[in-house]
């Protein structure tokens, strides 16, 4: 009687065209978790601060500085006593009362939509909040992956429209920075708040212009750059800025919160009433 033949071993996953399975979650030995941890801490702190600042609905104006969280001033609430020790001038108030709702809640929809759908921030919060994946070559805990092809993540594609809305907001914040030079009747003023508003507007412009959508709008869909020399030059500038998009995203995010904080401290009297403010 012939001896039973042992079954042939199953082919390895790589041979079947699949992924090799390894017991370790990752073979990386560096501190890959530092970057997602920093992203989590900074983004979480910003969300907490921005939520509080948006709902508190006061101390967002100190003549001539208006907080970027409350600009443009949409409501006559801005001129109410709740606005801080100095109300927003009526010409900055666009609509009537919003029944006591903080105008910042409406204003912040646009910059938050812009940042939430930003290609860089998507990478940052997918990694730090959803572990999808936490880092390159580190296994994620999720069983399936559908990318951004289904609801709700397919909505990330509206980023290009938020880009245009963000440009409008940048124009408004630039106008606010110009108003920051006009505290006195003769128009001349330059305080720390003026410089802060100017830097804030500059960082927001740099962040917007370095946007991937901006780069595509300027240089995309062209078959021959040689026939579009101006767009080619603009595309070159935007491409160079685009290499710094991550840094500009963080710098503009942190600085916009610091700008609001500075105006809040000035409006509440914490900084005193010196001319340097």
Q: Is 225 in the site for ligand FES (CB under 6 A)?
A: no
Q: Which is nearer to ligand FES, 36 or 111 (CB)?
A: 111
Q: Is 211 in the site for ligand FES (CB under 6 A)?
A: yes
Q: Which two tokens stand for residue 161?
A: 């429209």
Q: How many residues bind ligand FES (CB under 6 A)?
A: 9
- In whole angstroms, the minimum distance from the beta carbon of 120 to ligand FES comes to 5
Q: Is 126 in the site for ligand FES (CB under 6 A)?
A: no
Binders in 169-208 for ligand FES, by CB under 6 A: none
Q: How far apart are alpha carbons 117 and 181 in whole angstroms? A: 34
Q: How far apart are alpha carbons 175 and 196 in whole angstroms? A: 13
Q: Is 212 in the site for ligand FES (CB under 6 A)?
A: yes
Cα distances from 202 to residues 7, 118, 145, 207, in angstroms, run 70, 18, 38, 9
Q: Is 82 in the site for ligand FES (CB under 6 A)?
A: no
Is the bond preceding 152 in cis, omega lying within 30 degrees of 0? yes
Q: Which two tokens stand for residue 168?
A: 């409008």
Site string for ligand FES, 151-170 (x = CB under 6 A): --------x---x-------
Q: Segment near ligand FES (CB under 6 A), from 85-93, 168-176, 210-218, 258-266? A: 210-218
Q: Is 216 in the site for ligand FES (CB under 6 A)?
A: no
Q: Is 95 in the site for ligand FES (CB under 6 A)?
A: no
What b/e string do you get for 184-205 counting C-beta neighbours within 10 Å, with b at 16 or more? eeeeebebebbebbbbbbbbbb
Q: Is 213 in the site for ligand FES (CB under 6 A)?
A: yes
- In whole angstroms, the minimum distance from the beta carbon of 249 to ligand FES comes to 6
Q: Which of 141, 139, 119, 134 is nearest to 31 (CA)?
A: 134
- In whole angstroms, the minimum distance from the beta carbon of 46 to ligand FES comes to 15
Q: Is 119 in the site for ligand FES (CB under 6 A)?
A: yes
Q: Which is nearer to ligand FES, 75 or 208 (CB)?
A: 208
Per the CB < 8 A criterion, the answer to whether 206 and 247 are in contact is: no
Scanning 188-228, the segments in alpha helix (DSSP H) are 192-209, 212-219
Per the CB < 8 A criterion, the answer to whether 74 and 98 are in contact is: yes
- In whole angstroms, the minimum distance from the beta carbon of 209 to ligand FES comes to 9
Tokens 């124009």 correspond to what residue? Answer: 171
Site for ligand FES (CB under 6 A): which residue of 88, 118, 209, 238?
118
Residues contributing to the site for ligand FES (CB under 6 A): 118-120, 159, 163, 211-213, 245
């Amino acid at each position: 009687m012939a001896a039973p033949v042992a079954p042939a071993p199953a082919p390895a996953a790589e041979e079947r065209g699949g992924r090799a399975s390894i017991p370790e979650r990752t073979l990386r030995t560096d501190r890959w978790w530092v970057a997602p941890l920093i992203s989590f801490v900074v983004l979480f702190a910003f969300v907490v601060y921005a939520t509080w600042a948006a709902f508190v609905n006061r101390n967002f104006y100190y003549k001539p500085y208006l907080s970027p969280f409350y600009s443009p001033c949409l409501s006559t609430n801005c001129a109410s006593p709740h606005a801080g020790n100095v109300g927003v001038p009526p010409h900055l108030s666009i609509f009537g009362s919003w029944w006591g709702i903080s105008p910042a809640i409406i204003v912040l929809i646009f910059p938050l939509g812009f940042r939430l759908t930003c290609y860089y921030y998507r990478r940052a919060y997918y990694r730090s909040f959803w572990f999808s994946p936490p880092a390159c070559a580190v296994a994620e805990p999720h069983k399936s992956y559908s990318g951004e092809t289904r609801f709700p993540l397919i909505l990330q594609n509206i980023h290009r429209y938020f880009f245009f809305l963000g440009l409008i907001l940048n124009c408004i914040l630039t106008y606010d920075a110009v108003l920051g030079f006009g505290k006195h009747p003769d128009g001349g003023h330059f305080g720390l708040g003026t410089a802060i508003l100017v830097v804030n507007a500059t960082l927001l412009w740099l962040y917007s212009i370095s946007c991937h959508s901006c780069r595509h709008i300027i240089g995309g869909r062209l078959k021959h750059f040689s026939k579009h020399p101006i767009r080619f030059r603009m595309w070159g500038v935007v491409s160079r800025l685009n290499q710094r998009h991550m840094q500009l995203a963080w710098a503009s995010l942190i600085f916009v919160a610091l700008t609001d904080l500075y105006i809040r401290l000035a409006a509440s009297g914490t900084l005193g009433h010196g001319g340097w403010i």
